[in-house]
A and B are shown apart, each in its own frame.
Chain A
Amino acid sequence: MNFLNTPALLYLLAIPPVVLLYFLRLRRKNRRVPSTLLWETSTADLQANTPFQRLRRSLVLFLQIALLAVLAFMIARPFLRIHALRGESVAIVIDASASMQATDVRPSRIEAAKQAAGKIIADLSKGDEACVIEAGQRTRVRAGFTTNRRVLSSAIAKVRATDTETALRDALALAVSLARKRPEAEIVLISDGAFAPLDDVALGDERVRFVQVGKECFNVGVTAMDARRDYSARGALQVFAQITSFASKPASFVLEVYHNDSLIDARPVELAAEATRGEVFANFPYEAGVVRAHLDLQDDLAVDNSGYAYLVPRGELTVLLVGEESLFLERALTVDPRARLSRVSSADFRPDTPADVRVFNGWAPDRAPDGGSLLVNTSARNGPVAVAAKVQTPTVVRWVEKHPVLRYVNFEQVAIAEALSVTARPWGQVLVEGDTTPLVVAGQQGKVRAVYIGFELERSNLPLRAAFPILIQNCLEWLATGSETIANRSVRTGEPIALTAVQSGEAATVRGPDGSVHKLNPGAGSTAFDATEAAGVYRATYPEGQFVFVANLLSGAESNLKPRSEINIGNRRVGGGSAVMTSNREIWRHLALIALLILAVEWYAYHRRI
Chain B
Amino acid sequence: MPPASVGLDPDFLRSLERLTMVARRIFPGQLKGEKRSPRHGSSVEFADFRTYAPGDDFRHVDWNVYARLERLFLKMFHEEEDLHLYLLLDVSESMRFGEPETKLDAGRKLAAALGYIGLSSLDRVAAGTFSDRLLDRFRLVRGRRHAGRLFRFLSEAGQGAWGTRSQFGEAELGHVPQAHGTDLAEALRNFAVRTRNRGVVVVISDFLDRQGYQSAIQALVSCHFDVNAIQVLTPEEVKPDLAGDLRLVDAETGDTREITVTGALLNAYRARVEAYCDELRRFCVRRGAGYARLLTTDSIEQFVLQLLRRSGVVA
Q: A60: shortest Cβ distance to chain B, in Å?
A: 9
B276 touches A (CB below 8 Å):
yes
Do A34 and B258 have beta carbons less than 8 Å apart? Answer: no
Cα–Cα, bound, A56→B260 (Å): 10
User: Nearest A residue to B247 by beta-carbon distance?
Assistant: A28
Chain A residues near B243 (CB-CB < 8 A): 609
Is A465 close to B, CB under 8 A? no
Is B67 at the interface (CB under 8 A from chain A)? no
Main SS class of interface, B: mixed
Query: Is the CB–CB distance between B272 and A38 below 8 Å?
Result: yes
Smallest beta-carbon distance B294→chain A, Å: 15
**Cβ of A610: which chain B residues have Cβ within 8 Å of it?**
262-263
Report the nearest B residue to A59, measured CB to CB.
B262
| Residue in B103, B245, B250 whose CB lies within 8 Å of A28 | B245
Say yes or no for A1: interface residue by CB 8 A criterion: no
Mark interface residues in B249-286 (1 if CB within 8 Å of A CB, else 0): 11111011111111111101101110010000000000
Give every chain B residue within 8 A of A26 (Cβ-Cβ): 245
Which of B103, B237, B242 lies in contact with A31, CB distance below 8 A?
B242
Interface residues in A10-68 by Cβ distance below 8 A to B read 25-26, 28-43, 45-46, 50, 56-57
Tell whether, in the assembled complex, residue B252 and residue A35 are in contact, meaning their CB atoms are under 8 Å apart. yes
* B248 adjacent to chain A (CB < 8 Å): yes
**Residues B249 and A30 in contact, CB atoms below 8 Å apart:** yes
Beta-carbon contact of A35 and B246 below 8 Å: no
Contact A39-B259, Cβ < 8 Å, known A28-B246, A29-B246: yes
Residue of B nearest to A43 (CB): B259
B251 contacts across to A, CB distance below 8 A:
32-35
Given known pairs A31-B242, A33-B249, the reply for A45 and B272 (CB within 8 Å) is yes
B206 at the binding interface (Cβ < 8 Å): yes
A38 touches B206 (CB 8 A): no
Q: Chain B: which residue is nearest A45 at the CB level? A: B268
By size class, the interface of chain B is 35 or more
| B258 CB contacts on chain A under 8 angstroms | 28
At the interface, yes or no: B97 with Cβ under 8 Å from chain A?
A: yes
A608 interfacial by beta-carbon distance below 8 Å: yes
Given contacts A34-B97, A38-B208, contact A609 B263 (CB under 8 A): yes
Q: Which of A565-602 contact B (CB under 8 A)?
A: none
Contact in complex: A36, B262 (CB < 8 Å): no
- The residue in chain B whose Cβ has the minimal distance to the Cβ of A41 is B272
A-B residue pair count with CB separations less than 8 angstroms: 98
Q: Please name the residue on chain B nearest to A50 by beta carbon.
A: B264
CA distance in complex: A57, B248 (Å): 17
CB pair A39–B206 under 8 Å, yes or no, is no
B121, CB-defined interface residue at 8 Å: no
With a cutoff of 8 Å between Cβ atoms, the chain B residues found around residue A608 in the complex are: 263
Residue B54 is within 8 A (CB to CB) of chain A in the complex: no
Q: Is the CB of B268 within 8 A of A29?
A: no
Q: Which residue of A lies closest to B249 (CB)?
A: A32
* Contact status A31-B264, CB under 8 Å: no
Q: Which residues of A contact B97 (CB under 8 A)?
A: 33-34
B196 at the A interface (CB under 8 A): no
B234 / chain A contacts, CB cutoff of 8 Å: 34
Partner of B247, one of A30, A38, A57: A30
Q: Which residue of A lies closest to B210 (CB)?
A: A37
Roughly how many angstroms separate A289 CA and B207 CA in the complex, as a whole number? 123
Residues of B within 8 A of A35 (CB): 94, 206, 208, 210, 250-252
Least Cβ–Cβ distance between A390 and chain B, in angstroms: 108
**Which of A25, A31, A36, A43 touches B265 (beta carbons < 8 Å)?**
A43
A38 and B273 in contact, given A56-B262, A609-B262 (Cβ under 8 angstroms)? yes
Are B248 and A39 in contact, with the CB atoms below 8 A? yes
Q: Are A34 and B206 in contact (CB under 8 A)?
A: yes
B100 contacts chain A at the CB level, 8 A cutoff: no
Q: Is B244's CB within 8 Å of the partner chain A? A: yes
Q: Please tell me if the beta carbons of A39 and B260 are within 8 angstroms of each other in the complex.
A: no
A610 to B264, CA, bound (A): 7
User: For residue B272, which residues in chain A have a CB less than 8 angstroms away from its CB?
Assistant: 38, 41-42, 45
Residues of A within 8 Å of B257, CB to CB, are: 36, 39-40, 43
Query: Given the complex, which residues of B lie within 8 Å of A46, measured CB to CB?
Result: 264-265, 268
A-side contacts of B266, CB under 8 Å: 609
Contact of A29 among B93, B247, B250, B276 (CB under 8 A): B247
Could you say which residues of chain B place their CB within 8 Å of the CB of A33? Answer: 97, 248-251
Residue contact A42 to B265, C-beta cutoff 8 Å = yes
9 interchain residue pairs of minimum CB distance = A34-B94, A35-B208, A28-B247, A42-B269, A36-B257, A36-B250, A42-B268, A42-B272, A28-B245
Please name 14 pairs of A and B residues whose Cβ atoms are closer than 8 Å in the assembled complex, sorted by A. Answer: A29-B247, A31-B249, A33-B97, A34-B95, A35-B94, A36-B256, A37-B210, A38-B272, A38-B276, A40-B257, A43-B265, A45-B268, A46-B265, A609-B265
